[in-house]
Each structure stands twice: as C-alpha cells, then as structure tokens.
Structure 1
C-alpha cells in the first residue's frame, strides 16, 4: 500500500473510530415538528416547509433548517433557489463542521445537475474528519457514485471499501456488495491477484494426481503479530487490511473463473474457509450466492440464422465473417487445452419460413441460436422456439396485450431470449446525453426527411425531455430532402433568410446605401446532425458560413451514419471540430484487428464493418449473457462498444466519441452511459 493511500485510510478510520453520539437534554420537551431532522436523512416534508421554518426563526438558530431546505430543493431540482440559499449560507460565519456539510450539499447539487468536475471539487473541499456518521456515509456514497460515473474503478472500490462497514440497512449492504464486486473485477488481474489465496492441493505421492475437493488443505490465515506497543489505530489498520485483502481475493477468483462454474464453486469454498469472519460472508454478492443459477451458456451446437442470399445477403455475409473470425480466435486460444469447440450451423433465412426453421433447429439438437436479423423473422420464429436460448440481431417486436389502444405494448418476456440491435435510436439518446453533459441548453436536430430521420429525432427529443424535466425547451427538428437544396435549407433553419428579408425591407425604405450584416439566430447553442457522409460534407460548410461572423461558432455533433473512410484525408480536414459517435473498433484505424480486416477485405464500407463487429460481438457474448443478466453494473468491452444488458434483455452498446482536428481523430472523453 503506498504511503499516500495508507495515510488517507488511516485518517478515515480515525474519524470513524472517534465518532460519538450526543443526546441533548432539556427540562421542557420540544414538539417533534420543531426539531430539525438529521441532514441527509429521508425528508418527509417539501422545501416550502423548511424554508418557512427558516423564515419563522429569523436568526442564526435557523441554520439547520436552511441546510434542510437546500437538501429538499436539490431533491426537487429547484437549483436556482438552492443556489440562493447556498449563497446566503456562504455569507455567514460557519464552523468547520458546518462548512463541510455545506460543501457536501453543493456536491449533491452539482451531481444532480450532471456537473461532474464541479462535484469532485466540492468533495475535495470537505474536511472528512469533522463529518458526523450520517454525513460521512453520505459523502462516501456520493464519492463512490462519482468515481463509477467517471469510470475510475480503483478509486470507486477504495471508497466503497470504506463505506460498506458502516451501512446499517441490509438492502444497502447487499446492493453495495454487489456494486463493489462489479467494480473490483474491472481492475487488472495482476492487481487483484496480489491478495488471492493460494490453492493448496493434497497430492497422492504414488500417482501425483490431484485428489477431490474434500481433501483440499486450507491454509490457516496468518494472524497479525501483536506487540505491546500496538495502538488501537494499528489494530484498525490491520483489520482493514484483512478486510480489503478478502475482497480482492474474492474478486480475483470470480474474475478468473466466472465462466467455469465448477472451478468457481471450489475456489469460493476455499475463500470462505480462508476468510471465515469476513463481512461479505453475510451478504455475499448475488452473482456468487447461487453459482448454478448463473452458469454461462456453453452450447455444443450453435445455429446462426442469417440472410445469405437475396436482397440482404451482403449484410448477412458481413455478420457471418465476423462470427467466423471470433470462432477461429477461440479455436486458437483453446488449441493447447482439451476443451471442445461448439459446432456452427448456418441457416439461410431467405430459403425457409419460421416453422420450417424451428423444425430444423430441433432436428439438429441446437442449444443456442444467433439471429435472425430481420424483425419480421424474429416475430415469426421466437414464439416457436421458446425453449432455446436466442440472441436475436435486431430489436424485439412490440406486441399489444389486447385491442385496447391505451394498453402498453408487451415485449418478448422469455428469460433466455435476448436482442442485440444496432440501434440508431439508442445512438441518438446517447448524443442527447453527451450534449446535455456538455452544458448545452438549446440543441437543434438536422435529419433526413424520412421515417428513419424522424425516428432518430424523436428518440433524441424524448431523451432530452427526460434529462431536462423542469425546462420548457422544445427541441426543434428540421428535415432536409435533397442535397441540391441544402443551402436554402440551412438558411431557413438558422433564419438568415429572415434577416436578409429585413435588410431588403430597410434598404427599400431608406433608399440609400446601408452597411448591413446578415444575422443568424442566437437561441440555438448546438446542432446534432443525422446524415450520410456526402450530405455532411455539404451541411457543415453551409452551417459555418451561415452563422453570423460575430456569433460564437456552433458546436456540431453527428451520428456514425456520416463516419466513413477518407483515404485522401481531405474530407476529414473539412470536418475539423465535428464531434461524432461510432464503434471503438472503427475509431482506432491503427488497431491490429481493423488493419488485418482491411488487408484481407479491402475497401469495405464502415456500414459493412459495423456488421462484421456485430458478428464478432454476438459470438463472444454467448458466454457473457448470463453474467450481464445477473450482475448489476456489469459490462463487456466488445468491438461495438461497452455492452450491457437492460431489464428488457436488450443489449445496450455505449459508443465512443471522437473529434476531427486537422484531419486527425482525437477521442472525446464522456461520462455518459448507454441508455
């Protein structure tokens, strides 16, 4: 443990060990409604109640009520009023404990506003040594959540290791134990393995073969040497070290053996014997509580259902190549191990109907299905194979539960049926989240005048409304029809045509030369563009020249639809400043796999390579699906992005973001998650 971390942990443990509870006594009983509840407890009243209490007292005695008013205002997302009360409190002379509590409230406010750097700054200004028990627990919860949002698993685990021993509610203990394991297993194996218990095996000397599980020799855990000079703080640090080592060992064995249930069960039994008094024994992470229930799919015969002829043959064959690439990678990895590979069975969905396919799958003893690709085929086939695990390569088809128009649609509810769509709607929702995280207030959408463009725009609007529930901003969407009219289209969108019209009217009235400048609208502060590459190449310069020269440059965001190879590097230079989303696979042109694919499969479009990525990830997801389904916060890093599984069994992909600068791609960091 490094010196800095040891000092930090020592400081926390000292704070925790010295917290006391003081009960104030009075000869006159105070009515319950006159006693302010504890800060950061579950408030029963609204902000108006606490602000009214503050007004009634009208002296320094109202500080507690003001703190509670800020907490309630943040909960109600009334941030302007919360800032007013915070400013009032900052103007007062506060002691160290009150200042730290105020900084913690400010951190809460920034976090609720999705201002993550400001949240961390506020947390850094807190003197944790003066926080009471409730405030310290709240601080550690918020710090843990922030580290998780910022994808800092090591820092998140350090915070949760300090937090969990001081939780008193059983459901919270279980939740944070699950979350802690999910963060720990994201650490490098080398870091986790430093604490992994040694598996000591009893060996028959005559045969030199391992004996069964019942004869495993469990080493006794080493007890820390105790000397007469050992202080209470030394004991606390030693206890903390044992506690941390137990968690690291637990995460290490799960990280290594999560796809091998028998081995995982054996190593977990060893861990329990090695750490018999560890607190995780009482609230074991759910993924380890019933290992048999989360055993991964290990099929012997996999059916792949794709259109290999006809109109969509190109798409089907691109996915097929990706699947075969992943299959042969697995074959190479297992070449020195005695583990059988599954058999792949390819079925052309263009040559048979749903019932015939279902019969063929049963006859071939298929125990896992990848596909189909088309929604109509998914709708037809899935009800016929409810006993088979399926990873469909498109979204589930929504079905009405009844003829009642007000009834919510019902989606496929079979536990082992999953959907893995490349969804432009999900991409638009992630774009809305990024633009919101970048502090823009009034974005505008430009999309093609088609059902595709309108679906994507609608998804963006819905996500923006969910992110800004207290705002009255109605995101505008403008739809273009043809490339030949893009100039007039942009003039209309940015309202420079109206400015030109007003200038002409003034010249007509004045009858003298006027020095004028066309003005564009100033209410829009970002534009999200959904277009093909050739359309974007025209749209961006039209926007650049249409925006008034004295107005700030409009930030432009685009979808992966417009990302493409630029072998001359001329177009990429023209797109300088543009931020866009895409698969990590396609944003790393120097990556070994994409170079290998490009060499073997020259001059393929990005749309084809995205389907290749879908094929690779769909095969590799087979062993990950149950893990993703049963582990909160779990992700799998695929070619398409960070993959997670929603409650509806839809695979969600968190895309990456990049920006062009003088023709060169630069990654754009983002705290957003897949929606």
Structure 2
C-alpha cells in the first residue's frame, strides 16, 4: 500500500474526529528536526492542527516526524485514544529505529493515560536505544507509581533526576512526599535498591520523623544543607526553612480533649481497655489538660455532639464503634460546620470522613500488605494461603493476594476452610497429598502387591501463610508438619498476629514451634516502647487477654497521637514509634501501622528481624 496514501487517510480521519484542539495563538509552522532526540519533551509551539496541515505537504520522512509530534501533542491535550489511533496507523509504515522508538513512547504514554500501566511498561521495554531518554525514564517511573509499586517508582524517579536534574519545586515536593509515605518495611527495600542520590533524601526524611520542636528542626535542616550542598533538594529545604514561622501559627494549641467511647453495655470492656491505656499515657506524660470521657452507649450521638457544641473541645478522640463513627460524622455535618479535629478510632461504613477527621483503626489489612511485601523481598516465589472462610479471612487473603500479585505478577493459591474439622483436608489439598495417595493406590492395584510407599507433598511450594485464630493455628501448624514427606524440605510457615496468644502454655509453644508472625511491639518480649507502662499493665492485669492488651496499647498510642495528628497530616514522613507499631498517616488521613515480627520457639516467643 502507498505510504502517502496511508498518511493521507490518517490525517483525514483525525480531522473528521476533531482531534485537534484549536489554539488562539498561531505560532510559526514547525520544522521537523529528524536528528533531534526522540524523547525531547520540549516540543515546538505548534498545535496539532498545524502539525497535521504541514504534514500534507512534506515528503514521507518529514511527514512521519510531524505525525509523531502530533501524537505527542494529543497526549498533552489528554486525548490518548486519538493519539493511540495515530500511533497504530504509523506502526504500519516502514519506520526507522528512531521513529519506532518515538512511536512506542507515544503508545506507552497513551496506555498510561488509559490506566493500563502494565501495557505501558511492556511498550517501554520494546524501545531499542543505547541509553534511555528523559521521557522514557519519566514514563517508566509514572507507570510503576500507577501500579502501586511506590518504592520501585521512587528508585525510577531518582534515576531520572540523576540523568536529568529536577529544579522544579513541585517535582521535588512530589518525590519527597512519596519517600515520606513509605512504611519502614518499604524503606528497607528502597535502601537495598542502590538508587542514585538516595542517602540525602533518606536523611531528609529522617529529620521529619519527629518535628515537634521547630527550633531543633530548623537547626537540623541547616545542618543537612551544609552536609549536602550540591544536592537537588536544596531548594526544597530552603522552602521548608522559610515556612517554619508560618507553621507555628497554623498549629492551634490543644487544651481541652473529649473522648467518645463505649463505657457501658456490651462493649464496655472495649472502651475501658482504651480508657485505661489513654490514662496510663496521660499520667506517664505528666499531662494536666482537661480530659473528658463520654459514654457513647449512654445517649444518642446527636445529644453528645450538641453537648460538645456548648463547650467546644480542641480535639475529639473517637467514637470507637463503626455505627457510632457514622452517626458522629452525619450529626456533625447536619448540626454544624466542623470546627475541631477528631481522631476516629474506626473507619466509617457509610459516611465520608471530613478534612479534619483522622482515622486510627488498627486495620488488619496493614499486616497482610506488610507480610506479602516483606516475604516476597525475602525471596519466596510460590506461597499458599490457608484462611478461614469468613468475611475477615477472605478480606485478609484478598489483601495478601493483591499485594503479592502486584510485587511478583503471580497469583498465589488460596485455600479456605469452614470449620476445624475441614482443616486437615485443606492442608492436604494445599500440599497435593491426596493426589499422591491416589497414585500410590493405583500403583498397588496395577502391581497387585502391597507396595510400601510414603505420600509425597508438592515440591513447588516454598512458603505457607496462615490467616487463622490462635486456636486454629494450633491445629493447622501440626497438620502441615505431619503432611510434609520425611525426605522433603520443611516448608516455612508464617501467620498474622491473630495466630499469637500471649496467654499461652508450653503445649501451645510446642505446637506452634517455628511459626513466624507479625505482631505489635507491645505483645513481643522486651519490645514495648515504654517498658515502664508495660510492666505496670502486667502487674495490674496479669491475665488480660491478647485482645484487651491490644486495645490498651491502642489507648496509649491514641493519647500520644493527639498532639501529632495534625503535624503528621502536613508532613507525610513524620511517624510515631507506638506500642501498636510504627504509625504513619497516608494522603487520606488514615494512620497505618508497620508491625514487628515474632517467632515461636519450643518454649517461648522471640522477637526477630525481617530485613
């Protein structure tokens, strides 16, 4: 087919579909420069319409370059479908390598705008050039970020800015925010990536983990400037120092604190555990501010909010129960504009939190994400997930599966069990032990002999992850152990904190020997951040359940977050080393946890490091 004919058809179709966005100013016609780097992002100031019009009168070589530029212009106008259509027409032509690369860059960016980051990365991988250009590096980083691979995206941005330094303050702030949002287990991966100019960025993020004292923070920033005088983030640090004075004015003093939790009825024990933890931290911090506890089960939420309106607090903690959180948000919106910040202790189901609502709910999904990410980085490739067939079990298994697929591109096998009676069958299904038994049975029948053989388990599984209660884990772990062939390698078993019970006996430790799990520091030996408070709690409530201890630790962290929540919102890198984990706030003002790791030995549990 004639090349000029194909090009003419493309131009006509693009005009018919109104691809060009008219511009009021008409610059001089563009002159294609075929020797110019293909990913030069500074396009000539010609509109799509002008580029297409000029392409009509040029020879084939220059026409192709003009159409490639028009495709990139369309992307700048957020018209990926039309740019992709043009790229597909150009792909039918005999393009040279430079033009092929340019066309693939356009297609990759179109795919990214169409929310297909994996397709974008596949197209970028097809580009054949000695060194990646600026646009290619930017698209690689953007695609990784769109996939949710934040540490990998940060590494890619650092490679981009190493080759093409960024001076725009917005770009620097965006990169800093990405680094600041990383949980500790993600930071470990980033540190091992050996990305260029990473150390100064990590040092800057570390400065912001605690900015409670502006004077000390300013000195630390100045010290950073002296240590890294040529680093690209210098303009960012200068801006931070300039804004410190205004930051002081933004922070309102918190003098009156109201706490809305259940203190009567069925849920009283939950509220009391949090209350005791808050009071322990209150006394430990030698706090003297008025602290008022309001029973959320005693009156309707409308009455509680109206009472708060009469003597407005500076900060509200709670409610705790989901239905009360929804009612609190709805009542606020109905009765008054929001004037005080609130630290909600649960996620609402129906209402949308407002701009001054922070959420600290100890989501179990945080554990599943951390475990999947960390275990993949440890080198595991073929996990099997064993989970109770409940709404919580499915939610956690789905979270682990999604995170694993995001990291590896593979979907792990998930096997559910309904009751404890089904556990052994679930384990045998996971390990394919039943299939091995069937093969042995067939061989015995064929040979008509009493063949001696041991069932063999699957050899492709290198890790098992359990979402189960402590009682269920005591059954599942031995079932796995006895269904591993005597001549096969032991399969490591991991679990969430649901499988850990602090009130264990020697039999429990024996049954769970070798099980590794995530847990809050408060419930691991010698890991409590405030050892004095831990000793005090053990003396007062020596037989308290793991669940109540978790709520007590949540109360301690809640009290300490009162003065930090607003600062954490402004500074993504700021975190709190809490009893329930290392706490950080995301862009939706939800506080997430990074947990510690523990392992069952024959007689006791030990805290371990999982780099």
Using structure 1 for the length normalisation, give the TM-score.
Answer: 0.61
2:563 match: secondary structure: coil
CA contact (8 A) 1:433 1:463 kept: yes
Q: 1:321 aligns with which of 276, 287, 290?
A: 276
For 1:195 and 1:426, locate their aligned partners in 2 and report how far apart those are by CA, in whole Å: 33
* Equivalent of 1:370 in 317, 325, 343: 317
- Note the 1:471-550 alignment, pairs <5 A: 471=409, 473-550=410-487
Q: What residue in structure 1 maps to residue 226 of structure 2?
A: 244
What is residue 295 of structure 1 aligned with on the other side?
Answer: 251
Q: 1:388 — aligned with what?
A: 340
Equivalent position of 1:309 in the other structure: 264
**Could you tell me how far apart the structure 2 residues matched to 1:115 and 1:306 are?**
36
Cα distance in 2 for residues equivalent to 1:557 and 1:373: 30
Map 1:200-239 → 2, pairs under 5 A: none
Question: Contact 1:294–1:630 (CA<8 Å) still a contact in 2?
Answer: no
Structure 1 CA distance for aligned equivalents of residues 364 and 504 of structure 2? 26
Alpha-carbon distance, 1:389 to partner: 2.2
Structure 1 residue aligned with 2:585, among 645, 659, 675? 645
Distance 1:531 1:195, change over 3 A: closer
Q: Provide the residue aligned with 1:8 in structure 2.
A: none
Q: Distance in 2 between matches of 1:144 and 1:291?
A: 17
Deviations 1:252-293 (A, max 9, x none): xxxxxxxxxxxxxxxxxxxxxxxxxx8568633696373156
> 2-side partners of 1:381 and 1:146: how far apart?
34
Pick closer, same or farther for the CA change 1:476–1:512 going to 2, 3 Å: same
For residues 636 and 398 of structure 1, what CA distance do their matches in structure 2 show?
A: 29
The CA distance in 2 between the partners of 1:451 and 1:157, in whole Å, is 40
The match for 2:599 is 659
Q: Distance in 2 between matches of 1:295 and 1:482?
A: 52
- 1:51-66 → structure 2 map (5 Å cutoff): none
Distance 2:414 2:515 in 1: 19
1:379 aligns with 2:416: no
- Corresponding residue SS for 2:239: coil
1:165 match = none
Provide the secondary structure at the position in 2 that maps to 1:150.
helix
Using the TM superposition, give the Cα deviation of residue 329 of structure 1 relative to its aligned residue in structure 2, in angstroms: 1.4
Per the TM alignment, residue 308 of structure 1 is displaced from its structure 2 partner at its CA by 1.5
What CA distance in whole angstroms lies between the structure 1 residues aligned with 2:126 and 2:481? 39
Shift of 1:416: 1.2
Among candidates 181, 187, 192, match of residue 150 of structure 1: 187
**Shift of the alpha carbon at 1:158?**
11
Post-superposition offset of 1:636: 1.7
In the alignment, structure 1 residue 572 sits paired with structure 2 residue 501: no
How many angstroms apart in 2 are the aligned matches of 1:281 and 1:440?
40
Deviation (angstroms), 1:531: 1.2
Q: Trace 1:259-270 onto structure 2 (pairs within 5 A).
A: none
- Checking the alignment, whether the CA contact within 8 Å between 2:323 and 2:348 is kept in structure 1 is no
Deviation at 1:316, TM superposition (A): 1.2
Q: 1:359 is matched with which residue: 284, 306, 310?
A: 306
Other structure's SS at 1:585 match:
helix
How many Å apart are 1:438 and its aligned residue?
A: 2.7
Match of 2:293 among 343, 346, 349: 346
Q: 2:370 aligns with which of 409, 430, 449?
A: 430
Tell me how far apart the structure 1 counterparts of residues 600 and 324 of structure 2 sit (CA, whole Å): 39
Q: Could you tell me how far 1:458 is from its partner in structure 2?
A: 2.6
Is 2:609 the counterpart of 1:668?
A: yes
CA–CA separation in structure 1 for the residues paired with 2:445 and 2:311:
82
Distance 1:395 1:287, change over 3 A: farther
1:304/1:346 contact within 8 Å kept = yes
Describe how 1:590-669 pairs up with structure 2 within 5 A.
591=528, 592=531, 593-662=533-602, 663-669=604-610
Structure 1 residues 638 and 567: CA distance shift in structure 2, 3 A: same
- Cα offset, 1:622, TM superposition: 1.0
Q: Partners in 1 of 2:364 and 2:465 — Cα distance?
A: 13
- Please give the alpha-carbon distance, in whole angstroms, between the structure 2 residues aligned to 1:375 and 1:621: 20
Cα 1:392/1:186, change in 2 over 3 Å = closer
Paired with 2:345 and 2:272, the residues of 1 have a C-alpha distance of: 13
Deviates more, 1:390-399 or 1:360-369: 360-369
Alpha-carbon contact 1:143-1:156 (below 8 Å) kept: no
Please tell me whether the aligned partners of residues 225 and 237 of structure 2 are also in contact (alpha carbons under 8 angstroms): no
Identify if the C-alpha distance between structure 1 residues 294 and 484 changes in structure 2 by more than 3 Å, giving closer, same or farther. same
Counterpart residue number, 1:587: 524
Contact 1:461 1:475 in 2 (8 A): yes
Gap regions ≥5 residues in structure 1: 1-29, 163-175, 198-239, 248-277, 335-340, 400-410, 671-675
Instruction: Say which SS state the counterpart of residue 512 (structure 1) adopts.
Output: coil
Q: How far, CA to CA, are the matches of 2:457 and 2:244 in structure 1? A: 59
Q: Which residue of 2 aligns with 1:20?
A: none
Q: Deviations over 1:463-522 (max 9, x none)?
A: 334445xx3x44333222333442233112322112212321221232123343312234
- Kept in 1, the 8 Å contact 2:208–2:574? The answer is no
Q: Report the counterpart of residue 441 of structure 1 in structure 2.
A: 381
Distance in 2, matches of 1:293 and 1:189, equals 14
Which of 491, 495, 498 is the aligned partner of 1:554? 491
SS in 2 for 1:308: coil
Deviations 1:137-195 (A, max 9, x none): 99xx9999899753699x99994797xxxxxxxxxxxxx7xx875432449999x9699
In structure 2, distance between residues paired with 1:547 and 1:654: 32
The answer on whether the counterparts of 1:392 and 1:419 sit within 8 Å (CA) in structure 2 is: yes
**What pairs up with 1:120-159 in 2 under 5 angstroms?**
149-150=186-187, 159=197
Give the conservation status (yes or no) of the 8 Å contact 2:210–2:575: no
- Distance change >3 Å, CA 579–CA 293, structure 1 → 2: farther
Query: Matches of 1:607 and 1:585 in 2, distance apart?
Result: 12
What SS does the aligned partner of 2:294 have? strand
Give CA-to-partner distance per residue, 1:339-369, whole Å, 9 cap, x none: xx22111122222111222223234443322
The alignment of Structure 1 onto Structure 2 pairs a total of residues equal to: 516
Counterpart of 1:183 in structure 2 is 206
- 3-state SS, counterpart of residue 557 of structure 2: helix
- SS in structure 1 at match of 2:455: coil
Kindly indicate whether the alpha-carbon contact (under 8 Å) linking 1:559 and 1:581 is maintained by their aligned counterparts in 2.
Answer: yes
